[in-house]
Each structure stands twice: as C-alpha cells, then as structure tokens.
Chain A
C-alpha cells in the first residue's frame, strides 16, 4: 500500500489567455472571455501531494511546517496577488492556462527535499480542476 499526504493552499492572481501564434480573431474565438485584453483573475486552490515512508520518530511523511515554508517561498510569494502574464517569467512566452500552471508549479516544487512530490492539483474555480503527476518513468 502507499501513503500520501495532501495539503491545500490558496492564491489569487490575474491572467489573460492569449497566444502569439494566433490572430486576434482566432484568440477571440479560442479563448472567449478569457482573452479580454485587460485580463481577469481567479482564486486558485493548489493541492500538493507528497509520498514517502512514514518516519518512525515523527509519524509523518514530511513536516508540514517545512512544506508550508517551501510552498510559500517557491510558489505563493511569486503568484499571490500578481499578474501571471506580467510577473512570472515562465509565462512571458507561455499561455497561463491552468494546465501550464500545473507543470510550472510542479517543476518549482519538484525538489522538495523531505518527501517525493507525487501530484499537483489546481482548482481554477470550484468547477475546473487540473492535475499533473510525476511521469511514470521516473
């Protein structure tokens, strides 16, 4: 059997879905209201899942204080109350869909030193959620 620990975090950020590969009309058609030139925002929920052995001394997969500090430094400090397109370098050239957010945030958290990062799940709204897991070959 496998044991995993999941912790949820919240951040609020603005974005605009617009791809330089398409014309204005194509962007409009593809992204609809998400292509609004002035952008818009969401309250995102980030769920981080770790796996690993349960430490005999502590009864924990990882200390939550360590995870909280890591997620704050690697993700929340950069993303919370920011414009993703304008303030996160990775999204200068990538469209800030929640799919792309998942991989960006996974890569930012991938080297958490105390347990293995298994999955990232992001809710863009209460209706939309996206997941990215560690590739099976790793």
Chain B
C-alpha cells in the first residue's frame, strides 16, 4: 500500500460560542475565541489517500481528480467564508479544528476512489493541528 498526500490552504473566519451556555461560561471556556466579532485563520489541509498504484498509470489516484474534489468540497464551501454562518454542515456545531476536520472527513471519504481516505490533517496555525485517521469502529 502507498499513500499520497495533497495540501491546500483556505482562509476563513469563525467564533466559538455555545448558545446553551451563559455568556460568562462561553468566555471562560473559549477565551479570546469567543470574541463576539469573530476572528480568522489561514487553514492548511492535508488529505492522505491510501491504495495500490494502478499498474497502467502508476498512480494511486489521479491527483488532478483529487485536486478538483478538494476544490469542490472544501475550497468552494469554506475559503473566504464565515464558518459559523456560511457552512451548513457546521450548523449547530462549534467550528473548532476538531469539528471542521470531521466535517471535511465526511465530505471527502465517500467520494474518494480509487483508494481510501486514510487521514485528514487540518492545521489551524503552524503550532496546532488535528488529525482524523481511518480506523475500525465508531468515532473515538
């Protein structure tokens, strides 16, 4: 098995706020990420696909197809958007790096072929990233 990884960058704004909690609790839990006017990041997304290279093409999957899929599913939804208001898949969820990575996983996993989605790595900043990795069973 071989893995291949493609990287893209997108910029988006967000705010951490749980309406089930008081304003004071939100400030205590989320700190500066609870700023009412929101803030933003340059996200870097790495998508890793695992599979066996096709004997005819030498490819696990066509990188151009993967690029188009990432453009369509991720860039068009999230780039230069406000994640709280403009991404329906995140409605009702706090747009943390964890939740964004899980949404991206769900958007891409069923559409990757040939090969299988092996890992999503989402950097919110150079010193912070989340991995969602393929494995057996439910989300842990």
A contacts, CB < 8 Å to B = 1-9, 49, 51-54, 57-61, 63-65
Contact = CB atoms under 8 A, between A and B. Distances in A.
Given A53-B140, A65-B31, A59 B94 contact: yes
Nearest to A10: B127
Interface stretch (B13-21, B38-46, B49-57): B13-21
Contacts of B132: 1-3
Given A1-B105, A65-B31, A57 B96 contact: no
7 contacts: A1-B134, A1-B140, A3-B98, A7-B127, A54-B96, A58-B29, A59-B16
Secondary structure dominating the interface of A: mixed
A63 B127 CA distance: 15
A58 B130 contact: no
A107 to B, nearest CB: 23
Contacts of B18: 57-58
Interface in B52-96: 93-96
A119 B93 CA distance: 27
Given A3-B101, A3-B102, A58 B133 contact: no
A61 B97 CA distance: 10
Given A3-B98, A5-B129, A65-B31, 4 more contacts: A1-B135, A3-B132, A6-B131, A61-B130
Contacts of A2: 131-133, 135, 139-140
A42 B18 CA distance: 42
B130 A51 contact: no
Contacts, number: 74
A6 B98 CA distance: 11
B91 to A, nearest CB: 13
A59 B135 contact: no
Contacts of B140: 1-3, 51-53
Nearest to A63: B29
A8 B132 CA distance: 18
A61 B128 contact: no
A65 B20 CA distance: 21
Nearest to A53: B140
Given A1-B105, A59-B99, A6 B129 contact: yes
B110 interface: no
A4 B97 CA distance: 10
Max chain B C-beta neighbours (<10 A), residue from A3, A8, A9: A3
B129 to A, nearest CB: 5
Nearest to A50: B130
B93 A59 contact: yes
Contacts of A9: 127
